[in-house]
Structures are given as C-alpha cells and as structure tokens.
Amino acid sequence: MKSFLFCCLFGTFLATGMSLECKICMEYGQNCTDYWTKTCDAKEDTCVMYQTEVIGVPLSITFTATACGTSDTCHLDYVETNLHNELTVRAKRACCMGDECQTLPPPVLEPQVHRPNGLQCPGCIGLTSTECNEYLVSCQGTENQCMTITGKNREFLFREMSFKGCASESLCTLFEKKFWRFLKESEVDVKCTPAVPKTSQ
C-alpha cells in the first residue's frame, strides 16, 4: 500500500514538476535579446521560434518572437497571407526544446518575390467592424485558400475586426488549431475555402 501511494505521489510530482518552460520574447528586427521564462500550458509540448514580416508597400516591418506551442504544428514552418494587394504578412517558424533553443538560430525569411499564382480571393480589412468592403485580391506563392476572419476580442487591439484575403493552407491549419493565444480567448471565427482561378479581365 505504501509503495502504491509513493508511486502515485511520485507520478504527480513528475506531472507537475516537468512542465515545459520556454523563453518568451517579441522584438522588432531579426533577433531577440530580452527574454522572460514562461511555464507552458499542459497541451503545449514545444517552444516555437518565428520571424514575421508585415509588408505594406512601400514599407515593411520584421519582428522575431518565441512562444510555447504544440509539436503537431511544427511541420507548418512557413505561412503567408495577402489581405490586400498592398499588404502581405508572412512568417517562418521552427520548433525547439531545452538547450537546442539556446543554439538554434532564429528562422530567416527569404527575400519576398512577387509571384502571382493565378488564383484570387475576396479581400478587405475592417479594423473596427465585422464587415468590410470586398474587392478581388491576387494570390501569391503558396496562397491557395480564401481566408475570412471576423469577430470580437476585448484583449486585442481592435474590439471588432474583419479580414479577408488569400492565405496558405498552413496558415489556415494554424488558425484551426487556435495556435495564437488571442484566438483561444476571443469570439473570433476563421473560415478557409479553396481559392478560385483568376478570371481574365
């Protein structure tokens, strides 16, 4: 009986004491220098490093971040979306654990090349409303899905929002898994449907 009780207590200790910890950061540029440590949620079993680029012609902003994540999304190492013919967001991701996170260089995005793929989607941006005026957006590269994001989020920058545009299938999968924390804590609806061939004018 004592042996059984010891095993139960030891198992509980392992379950609570072996929680994954990741160094968290988010900074402009291609490197992080200011980290803090976070104990990940029970379902988060890996650390994720990613570099994101927001391109709004003629400017672009790059930032690097690390966060807790799930290993079933590690294969989704590149995502991109085109919400507007002059606004593109893309990210390169990599998973790591333990000491590997200290030595693994952050993922680096290749220079963007404007490469329409012959597909198109309705596109629009509504920063303060769940509705926005649509127009056709030309998809690029791996963007083969039409993505629609609508909803509300009290913790997010905008309480109501609506985004539509082209997206890679990998980005749609991440949204379905609610990889981003703001999706877990908000009333946000994300839908993806196959993009359609671009019609000739």
3-class secondary structure, 174:
helix
Distances (CA, A) of 142 to 90, 138, 166: 11, 12, 9
Q: How confident is the model at residue 190, as a pLDDT? A: 87
Q: Which domains are seen in the chain, by residue range? A: 20-197 (2.10.60.10)
pTM score, whole prediction? 0.77
Retrieve residue 131's tokens: 């509705």
Q: How confident is the model at residue 168, as a pLDDT? A: 95
Residue 52: strand pairing partners: 63, 91
Q: How confident is the model at residue 11, as a pLDDT? A: 39
Cα 89 to the center of its chain, rounded Å? 10
Please state, in angstroms and rounded to a whole number, the distance separating the CA atoms of residues 166 and 60.
Answer: 19
Please state, in angstroms and rounded to a whole number, the distance separating the CA atoms of residues 128 and 62.
Answer: 24
Residues of the chain below pLDDT 70: 1-18, 153-159, 178-186, 200-201
